[in-house]
Structure 1
Amino acid sequence: MVRNYQIMINNSSGFVLNTGEVSIRRAIEQSELPYQAIHFLSPQDLTEKLSRMRPCDQTVPLIGGGDGTIRSCAMALMDKDIPFGILPMGTMNLLAHDLGLSTNLEDALSAYARPHTQTLTIDVGMVNNQCFLCCAGLGIMPKASRYREKLRKNNDLSLYPKLTAFILEHMNPDHFKSLVIEIPPSKRIRMRTASLVVSNNQFTEQTAPGESRFKKATLQDGQMAIYALKSKGWLEKLIFFSKLGLGGWKSDPLIEEWTCREAIIKAKDDTVLVSLDGEPTEMRTPLKFEIKRLRLKLLIPGTSLENTEACT
Structure 2
Amino acid sequence: MRHTVVINARAGTVLAAGSDAFAARVEAAFAAYGCSAEIRLVPPRELDDALSLAIADEEAIPVIAGGDGTINGVLPILLQAERPVGILPLGTVNVLGRDLGLIGTLERQIEALCMGEPVTMDIGRVNDRLFHSLSGMGFFSLMAREREYARRRFPFSRAIAFAVAMTRSILFTRPITVEIRVAGERREVKADAVLVTINSFDGPEWRRSRLDGGMFEVHILNAGGLLSRCKAALSVVSGTWKSSKHLTSFMSDEVTLIRRDTKRGHITFDGEVERKAGELAYRLLPKAVQVIAARAQSV
TM-score (norm 1): 0.86
- Aligned 8 A contact 1:89 1:103 in 2: no
Query: Are 1:273 and 2:266 matched, yes or no?
Result: yes
Residue deviations 1:109-133, cap 9 Å, x none? 223334xx42211111111122111
Is residue 168 of structure 1 aligned with residue 161 of structure 2? no
- Kindly indicate whether residue 1 of structure 2 is the aligned counterpart of residue 15 of structure 1: no
From the superposition, tell whether residues 54 and 105 of structure 1 become closer, same or farther in structure 2 (CA, over 3 Å): closer
Matches within 5 A, 1:228-307: 228-268=220-260, 269-300=262-293, 304-306=294-296
1:68-119 CA-partner distances (Å, limit 9, x unpaired): 11122222221232321011100001111111112421112223334xx422
Per the TM alignment, residue 52 of structure 1 is displaced from its structure 2 partner at its CA by 5.3
For residues 31-55 of structure 1, give each alpha carbon's deviation from its aligned partner in whole angstroms, at most 9, with x where no partner exists.
3253452111111101133345654
Q: Secondary structure at the match of 2:74?
A: helix
> How far 1:168 sits from its partner (Å)?
1.5
RMSD between superposed Cα atoms in Å: 2.1
Shift of 1:153: 1.3
Q: Secondary structure at the match of 1:101?
A: coil
1:209 paired residue number: none
Task: State the identity %.
Answer: 23
Q: Which moved more, 1:11-20 or 1:228-237?
A: 228-237
Gaps (5+ residues) in structure 2? none
Q: Which amino acid aligns with 2:121?
A: I
Deviation for aligned residue 1:162: 2.6
- The amino acid of 1:274's aligned partner reads I
Equivalents in 2 of 1:160, 1:131: separation in Å? 25
In structure 1, the gaps of 5 or more residues are 207-212
How far, CA to CA, are the matches of 1:161 and 1:112 in structure 2?
Answer: 31
Residue matched to 2:195: 197
The answer to whether the Cα contact below 8 Å between 2:27 and 2:36 also exists between their aligned partners in 1 is no
- Mapped partners of 2:24, 2:36: distance in 1: 13
CA distance in 1, matches of 2:164, 2:23: 34
Per-residue displacement from partner, 1:4-44 (whole Å, max 9, x unpaired)?
Answer: 21110001111111122122222123232534521111111
**Distance of 2:111 and 2:94 partners within structure 1:** 18
Pairing 1:1-312 to 2, within 5 Å after superposition: 2=1, 4-31=2-29, 32=31, 34-35=35-36, 37-51=38-52, 55-114=56-115, 117-155=116-154, 158-171=160-173, 175-184=174-183, 186-206=184-204, 213-268=205-260, 269-300=262-293, 304-306=294-296, 310-311=297-298
